[in-house]
Homo-oligomer: A and B are copies of this chain.
Amino acid sequence: MIAKNHLSAIYKNIAAEITQRIYKGVYPSGAYLPSENKLSQEFEVTRSTIRKALNVLKEKGTIESKQGKGYLVKELHWEQSLLQFYSFGQNIAQNIENPESKLLEHKKIKGLKSIDEFVSTELWQINRLRLMNEVPLILETSYIPIDYLKNFEIPELKQDSLYNLLKKNDNHVVRAKEYLEPVLPSLNDQELLEVKEDSCLFQTIRYSYDSENKLIELRESLIRGDHFSFSVEMTL
């Protein structure tokens, strides 16, 4: 039951409740939410209050409204949100074609000195190479506590995304922060990404957290700067 609490508006409580249900899988991604009318009956408010609540989720990109159909729970929405800033080339909005992912290595390590949260945590280290049209573009290294990824089968990684695997282990990423820096490739990077020693790369580091604010993945990516570019657009 949603409390009528004047310290925080009702629509915010409803938005939080619906978000929780999405986390917990009551409203699974790919499915539609109950209609505005049904939700307004359940929460005993008018349709406009429900609309205001749903609008909160819509702005965050958690759901998407389709006239005549309903509210669709989006999958991986936040990962796409991060990716929307990347584009290929400068003016061309090319589509992602023939994406491919090669698993280079996976092993257990005892911890990461440089990351406070992972200093003494047993981790999976997973190295992958991402290609597009057979051109190597991104070199990824993920670190995930083994506790969060107990059922880990190699073939799954080739088909499923890491986030889906985490989901199956009941770990839901709800917040992520990503940092970008320009770097030069190491010898190993040069070989794998097929670039020269003087061609700069983007290095991104992404921290992914669950709803309890625990770090569940650290991902370092090296991205070829000659094929990717980061872009931001602003309109008054």
User: Do the beta carbons of A181 and B229 come within 8 Å of each other?
Assistant: yes
Distance of A226 from chain B, by nearest CB (Å): 8
Interface stretch, picked from A3-11, A122-130, A134-142, A171-179, is A171-179
Distance of A197 from chain B, by nearest CB (Å): 9
In the assembled complex, which residues on chain B have CB atoms less than 8 Å from the CB atom of A233?
Answer: 175-178
Known contacts: A236-B62, A236-B77. The answer to whether A231 contacts B179 by CB under 8 A is yes
In the assembled complex, which residues on chain B have CB atoms less than 8 Å from the CB atom of A184?
Answer: 184, 198, 200
Distance of A195 from chain B, by nearest CB (Å): 11
Q: How many residues of A contact B (CB 8 A)?
A: 38
- Nearest chain-B residue to A225 (Cβ)? B182
Picked from B77, B200, B235, the residue with its CB within 8 Å of the CB of A200 is B200
Distance of A228 from chain B, by nearest CB (Å): 9
User: Do the beta carbons of B235 and A180 come within 8 Å of each other?
Assistant: no
Whether a CB of chain B sits under 8 angstroms from the CB of A38 is no
A64-98 contacts to B, CB under 8 A, are: 77-79, 81-82, 85, 90
Extra 20 A-B pairs, beta carbons < 8 Å, given A178-B232, A230-B230: A19-B236, A59-B59, A62-B236, A77-B236, A78-B235, A85-B232, A90-B179, A173-B236, A175-B233, A176-B233, A176-B234, A178-B234, A179-B231, A180-B180, A180-B230, A181-B225, A182-B202, A182-B225, A183-B225, A184-B200
